[in-house]
Chains A and B, each alone.
Chain A
Amino acid sequence: MELRRFSRGFALCSALAALLAPISPARANPYETRLDNGLHVIVKEDHRAPVAMHMVWYRVGAIDEHDGTTGIAHLLEHMMFKGTKTLKPGEFNEIVARAGGNDNAFTSHDYTAYFQRVPAAALPKMIELEADRMRNLVISDDEFARELKVVMEERRLRTDDQPQSQLHEQLMATAFIAHPYRRPVIGWMNDLENMRPDDARDWYRRWYAPNNAYVVVVGDVDHKKVFEQVKKAYGHMKPVQLPVRKMTAEPVQTGERRITVKAPAELPQLAMTWKVPKLVDVSNDREPYALEVLAGILDGHAASRLPKALVRGSQVAVEVGAYYDATARGETTFMLGGTPAKGHSVAELEAALRAEVKRIADEGVSEAELERIKTLTVAAQVYKLDSTYVQAMEIGRMEASGYRWQDADLMLEKLKSVTAAEVQAVARKYFGSDTLTVAVLDPQPLDPNAKPRAKPAGLRH
């Protein structure tokens, strides 16, 4: 995912609001309905091209997993392409491809989503296909065993052979000792090794239901027809009793945590994360918006402070970044990190990054910086309209993360109202040492003839 996400952005500044007027159709767009079984349906008509982006989002992700079966949300996502009572394994993809479309799916901590990008005429078939695999998935032992191998290859590719991914994985596992964000979305390798087909079947049975799902369509469609098609495909389904979501709250962190990760690499890396609040009350919270603006001032555009001060200015770093996302189902953190330049240590980079936050805590930010963030975000809101994918992602993400798609507009207004004093206040309040976790990549020389480090013997169960 992108490091900075301002996709929700700000409301339109007055000067630019007029730009959007001709292309913002009736205020009713997007259109929304909810079936009796709880299925949410959101349709945004966009008639620029005869295409439709169709997504089905489930409010279930790695956050809902338990120790011993980490990675099951993602593995089940893979199994969703492996056939239903009426479709053979792989047939789903064949149908999409022959319709001129392409498809994919993704899993995060907070949600699992499936999408097809198709010529608009093929949308009804896509709706039928997604409805079918919401209730009629078949998980055979044989298909499960092979797909599990694919996912283990995926873990090797993404994490085990990627020092930066290992750093991130272990940073999260250290910053959170109880909260489920401590577990990687792809799962620990040992849990994958011990995963059973019934783990996937259980997961599917518990979470894949109309009352835990959101159908999002953006494209050249008539929303009334889409509503009818969705009702026809899903209307007969009964809601299920969803499991109680027991999300362990993270105990208050009362002291700095530091870890080192050794991996074959050339350059050291630094990643720091502080516990900060997330957006809960879209109307009345203030600090999450101020933290979003703080992240935007520090990083995320060409003129932001961190690259200017540390990469181009003091040249302590070859690369720096900041990340904060106010919206999440779980708890949130604010991250800073980077790679020190030759001749500079990780400790120097850490001091320099913290000094940049302290500078804002002491001196505040300029009106010009605030204005720049707002301008960029307004522009991003316009650019977003060039992509049905981005528009559908925004709607689905909001809904599946526990917000409403309508909140996006309100969040824009709120972000626009953030003051320099509020940015300064969060910079003062949240960046002490007691809630900080630091992970350092300690690069190890590459021995071409060494074999990968032995993994611990798996305990089968």
Chain B
Amino acid sequence: MRFRNDLLLVNPMNRFFRHLLLQAAALFALSVPAWANVNIQHWVAANGARVYFVESHVLPIIDLQVDFDAGAARDPAGRSGLAGMTQGMLDAAAGGLDEDALAEKFSDLGARLSGVADNDRAGLSLRTLSSARERDGALALLRTVLTRPEFPAAVLEREKARAIASLREADTKPDQIGSKAFARALYGDHPYGRSATVESVAAITRDDLLAHYRRHYVASRAVVSIVGDVTRQQAEAIALQLTGDLPAGEPLAPIPAVTMPKAVTERIAHPANQSHIFVGEPVTRRGDPDFFPLQVGNYILGGGGFVSRLTKEVREKRGYAYSVYSYFNPQREPGPFQIGLQTQRAQAADALKVVDETLAKFIADGPTDDELKAAKRNLVDGYSLRLDSNRKLLESLAVIGFYGLPLDWLSKFPERVEAVTAAQVKDAFRRRLSADHMVRVIVAGD
């Protein structure tokens, strides 16, 4: 529970950071840094786990993450929420230790365990001190929760009740109502369009968890990302230690292809003071050849915080919104391009008109030369900011590893951004964003 809400940011950068930096531009980030010998090492362990490693001994810290192809896209029909529940229950009991014992042991080592769960991925990440006692203790615990979870029935019932309470609460909140409706409108019955519901969570059984875990938490699809104070030799041993007890696993069918939606405007009544507006369509996969023109263009359109066109038109010129943004969120199958804003409900139609015009003009005309130059300076000159901590490096490594992106992708970042032309941005936006597929969701509009 959070009590304090008294630290106010002038710009809602948390949202910007989450979407641009942590998701889309996790890839944006890495390159051959001028500042250090960041060298990404990659190998496949004997059991098939893919390992990505950056050795750095400056701080006595190890950050690591183990991901699997076990995200929400793998939820069976009628069981939405299973992937998240399975991931969340890994540390509910494991290797004969109950949840309290596990929590105490992690805490007594000063280690932090956290979960990773999105449409494509699910797994765990760990931050620990690199001193032998703490490191060895924390890794042994992580191995236990990854390879010997017990999924106790009583804890499952409790966690289902908590999840259902949280879902009912979410169903009263305009932003969350809108997010779910937007996903549904974009993807229909595709797994990316489904959200957990009270019914789907209520239907989840312990056998479902065991089946999901056994099928998806397997060595051949494990991606181990490690950053920090260990040697290559140690990293090799750690990767095997963490995943060595997992079964190899059977091949998985690919997740279904996305069917492009028809353009639609969905209005959802709600008594909020502000309308929550979502505009977008499915666009990009990881590894998309248009990645750089789209990302550079999006920086100009709505990703560049204070200096984007959307912020200038909607916020600076008209005072319509505190937060307005756009982003591409590439996933295994085409992830969304999304524009979002919140505005006093009486002016929702006016604000949406400004958004539509801004987007249409950008698609029609592309960026100006000066905008493109400014974007390049920010993205190229500022790329070291996105690599300046072990934590940020780990996030990037994990994306590269999971999606199997080529390693030189990183070293080529600056030259690829520099090579983007205004014509390429215009061309990519025109080809990839179509009015025929543009979905709008408005919650609490007048």
Contact = CB atoms under 8 A, between A and B. Distances in A.
Contacts of B274: 153, 156-157, 160-161
Contacts of B390: 386
B13 interface: yes
A335 B382 CA distance: 40
B8 A338 contact: no
* Size bracket of the B interface: 35 or more
B3 A154 contact: no
Interface string A428-445: 000000000000000100
B10 interface: yes
B389 interface: yes
A144 to B, nearest CB: 10
B129 to A, nearest CB: 6
Contacts of B174: 161
B161 to A, nearest CB: 6
B1 A338 contact: yes
B374 A94 contact: yes
Secondary structure type dominating chain A contacts? mixed
Contacts of A401: none
A109 B322 CA distance: 20
A302 B318 contact: no
Interface string A31-62: 00000000000000000111100000000001
Nearest to A50: B35
Secondary structure type dominating chain B contacts? mixed
Interface in B1-30: 1-11, 13
Nearest to A20: B60
Contact of A98 (B108, B322, B377): B377
A266 B107 contact: no
Contact of A337 (B3, B112, B272, B382): B3
A23 B59 contact: yes
A266 B58 contact: no
A150 B385 contact: no
Contact of A168 (B5, B36, B106, B162): B5
Most buried by A among B11, B107, B270: B107
A84 interface: no
A63 to B, nearest CB: 10
Interface in A318-356: 318-321, 323, 335, 337-339, 341-342
A49 B391 contact: no
B118 to A, nearest CB: 22
B381 interface: yes
Contacts of B389: 49, 386-388
A446 B322 contact: no
A108 interface: yes
B172 A153 contact: no
Given A319-B1, A375-B109, A452-B271, A102 B13 contact: yes
B10 A78 contact: yes
Nearest to A99: B381
B355 to A, nearest CB: 15
Given A49-B384, A339-B1, A379-B111, A150 B129 contact: no
A411 interface: no
Contacts of B381: 99-100, 119
A226 interface: no
Contacts of A385: 59, 61
Contact of B2 (A118, A321, A388): A321
A448 B269 contact: yes
Nearest to A448: B269
Given A106-B9, A266-B171, A335 B3 contact: yes
A153 B306 contact: no
Contact of A104 (B11, B104, B165, B269): B11
B2 A3 contact: yes
Nearest to A147: B319
Contacts of A380: 110
B58 A48 contact: yes
A89 B60 contact: no
A432 B171 CA distance: 37
A5 to B, nearest CB: 9
Interface in A157-184: 157-162, 164-165, 168, 184
Contacts of B161: 315, 318, 341-342
Nearest to B109: A375
B35 A220 contact: yes
Contacts of A449: 269, 271
* Size bracket of the A interface: 35 or more
A104 B344 contact: no
Contacts of A320: 1
Nearest to B174: A161
Contacts of A318: 161-162, 165-166
A107 B168 contact: no
A145 to B, nearest CB: 8
Interface string B392-433: 000000000000000000000000000000000000000000
Nearest to A340: B165
A204 interface: no
B8 A266 contact: no
Contact of A102 (B169, B312, B385): B385
A8 to B, nearest CB: 16
A154 B344 CA distance: 10
Nearest to A159: B5
B344 to A, nearest CB: 6
Given A93-B307, A150-B319, A150-B322, A49 B6 contact: no
A100 to B, nearest CB: 3
B135 to A, nearest CB: 11
Contacts of A164: 2, 5
A301 interface: yes
Contacts of B3: 3, 168, 271, 321, 323, 335, 337
A16 interface: yes
Interface in B143-195: 155, 158, 161-162, 165-166, 168-169, 171-172, 174
A168 B2 CA distance: 10
B273 interface: yes
A427 interface: no
A164 B9 CA distance: 18
A81 interface: yes
Given A100-B378, A266-B172, A302-B107, A185 B8 contact: yes
Contacts of A94: 307, 374
Contacts of B374: 94, 97-98
A117 interface: yes
Given A19-B60, A97-B304, A151 B382 contact: no
Contact of A51 (B110, B111, B133, B385): B385
A371 B104 CA distance: 11
Given A266-B168, A447-B271, A378 B110 contact: yes
B107 A308 contact: no
Most buried by A among B10, B11, B107, B166: B10
B316 interface: yes
Contacts of B35: 48-50, 220
Contact of A372 (B7, B108, B378, B382): B108
A382 B385 contact: no
Contact of B272 (A271, A311, A452): A452
A372 B103 CA distance: 11
**Which 7 residue pairs across A and B have the least CB separation, nearest first?**
A379-B110, A100-B381, A149-B319, A100-B382, A321-B1, A302-B103, A49-B388
24 contacts: A48-B58, A51-B388, A90-B316, A93-B307, A100-B383, A106-B8, A107-B8, A118-B385, A149-B319, A151-B322, A157-B322, A157-B323, A160-B273, A303-B106, A308-B100, A308-B103, A319-B1, A337-B3, A339-B165, A375-B110, A386-B390, A387-B391, A448-B270, A452-B345
Given A302-B107, A321-B2, 17 more contacts: A19-B130, A22-B60, A48-B35, A49-B35, A81-B10, A97-B306, A100-B383, A101-B382, A103-B306, A106-B7, A107-B8, A108-B8, A318-B161, A379-B134, A448-B268, A448-B270, A451-B271
